[in-house]
Chain A
Amino acid sequence: MQKPDIYSLSIVLLGNFNPIIINPHWLELKGLIRASDKDQEGIIEVVHPEVSKFDLSFAKIQVTKDRFQLDCYNEAEFILCKDLVISIFRYLAETPIRGIGINHTRHFKLKDVNEFKKFGHWLVPVEPWNDDLKEPGVLELKMVENENPDAKVRNTVIISPSGVVRPLGVSFQLNYHIHFDRISDATVDGTIEKHWELSAVKAMNLYENILKRFQNE
């Protein structure tokens, strides 16, 4: 199976946040990062009551009043990101959270233009569009699971051209969304611990299965 060129992770929490609290100095004060993790050129972009945005050595963090997001491009350091998010929300345990996303994105390269086009056309046949659009192509495909009001998790797959692996790169993303508000007595740390491996396995299986089916065409 083709190994992705880049495997990135994004942990997203939806809820009500106080962005100004979550900043590199607070993380260091709490002992959650090394001082050197934050001592990088130009890391703090903005810390403001409405947004906090900064880089650490292993992650990028952005917090707004309704969204916390951590991004990491280095697969070897995903575990540090998990510890960090768990720790932040142990300290901020009163934060109202609605949902948690553990999103896995694999960027991989296809061998040539023909295969690149073939992949897009295999995902979404262009025949229905040929009469009305000139050389139609797929820009982004989003597949979602049927919304089930009882489900704790909803998976969404987004396939699009990659912005980091270029040219001929494809981004294959699984948004593994946990309906945190549907789980009684849930804690952020316990929920992330429980779904960490499940989301990773789901993402890997989806990626491998889709590519396998494409290669068998």
Chain B
Amino acid sequence: MSNTLVQPVWYEDAQLLRTDIDEESILTKQIDDLYSGYGLIDHGSKGFLSEQEAPSLYESSKGFIVSQELGYLRKIPRYNYYKDPSTITNDYLKMKGFVTSIEEDSFKGRLFSDDGTYELVEFEKDSVSEEDLPLFKEGAIFYWIFGLFTIRKQRKKVSEIRFQRIAPLNPNEFDSLMDKADKLNEAIDWD
């Protein structure tokens, strides 16, 4: 973290900072979104922010968080959302399934495609991450992600099993879902 003192508390200063960065449109969008997001100025306005209007914390266009604390501004480097995303892919297969049985060295599961069809699969137990072992049991939902990923500019084949991590429904939501299921069940004519 840097403690460099900085001046900009005005939108116009943020605009000026853009000149040394090439993605003007992206940055303009960031500025506008951030400022309008904070409710400080109307979208597109270039007026000064008064001290009262100035937030205790905001982001400048240069890619820094600027925190106004103890009467001075602190500049903290931030990552740039728009440059060099660390992991990308557009060539992959992703399926969701659940564990049907666990054998000594392997486990079987049912994996569903987006079109609703499914296939029965068997994976080695070793393919389950140690960190996912507490979730690994019959009936557990998992994702299988397979594809060619670009990870920090390196192309890698990836095959990963990840068990679903999701917070439990609260009791009210659970009851509501059960009510819906009951109504649906009653509406079905089993004949």
What's the A-B contact tally at a CB cutoff of 8 Å? 123
Interface residues of B in 34-69 (CB under 8 A from A): 37-39, 56-57, 65, 67
A74 to B89, CA, bound (A): 6
Contacts of B13 in A (CB 8 A): none
Contact check, B92 vs A76: say whether CB atoms are below 8 A apart: yes
Interface bin, chain B: 35 or more
Interface residues of B in 120-134 (CB under 8 A from A): 129, 131-132
Interface residues of B in 56-99 (CB under 8 A from A): 56-57, 65, 67, 76-79, 81-90, 92, 94, 96
Contact check, A66 vs B37: say whether CB atoms are below 8 A apart: yes
Nearest chain B CB to A26's CB is how many angstroms away? 12
Contacts of A30 in B (CB 8 A): 167
Q: Is B24 an interface residue (CB 8 A)?
A: yes
Contact check, A91 vs B167: say whether CB atoms are below 8 A apart: yes
**Which stretch in B4-12, B100-108, B143-151 binds the other chain?**
B143-151
Contact with B along A17-31 (1 / 0, CB 8 A): 000000000000011
Contact check, A140 vs B28: say whether CB atoms are below 8 A apart: yes
A87 to B67, CA, bound (A): 30
| A83-B88 contact given A45-B79, A164-B83, CB 8 Å threshold | no
Q: Which of B28, B77, B88, B132 has the most CB of A within 10 A?
A: B88
* Main SS class of interface, B: mixed
Q: Is A133 an interface residue (CB 8 A)?
A: no
Contact check, B167 vs A86: say whether CB atoms are below 8 A apart: yes
| A79-B96 contact given A5-B90, A45-B78, CB 8 Å threshold | yes
Q: Which of B24, B129, B132 has the most CB of A within 10 A?
A: B24
Q: Is A75 an interface residue (CB 8 A)?
A: yes
Q: Is B166 an interface residue (CB 8 A)?
A: yes
Nearest chain B CB to A72's CB is how many angstroms away? 9
Contact check, A163 vs B23: say whether CB atoms are below 8 A apart: yes
Contact check, B65 vs A46: say whether CB atoms are below 8 A apart: yes
| A48-B67 contact given A3-B90, A79-B94, A164-B82, CB 8 Å threshold | yes
Closest 10 CB pairs of A and B: A73-B85, A163-B82, A87-B167, A90-B167, A163-B23, A76-B92, A163-B26, A34-B131, A160-B25, A139-B25
Residues of B within 8 A of A (CB): 23-26, 28-29, 37-39, 56-57, 65, 67, 76-79, 81-90, 92, 94, 96, 129, 131-132, 143, 145, 147, 149, 162, 164-170, 173
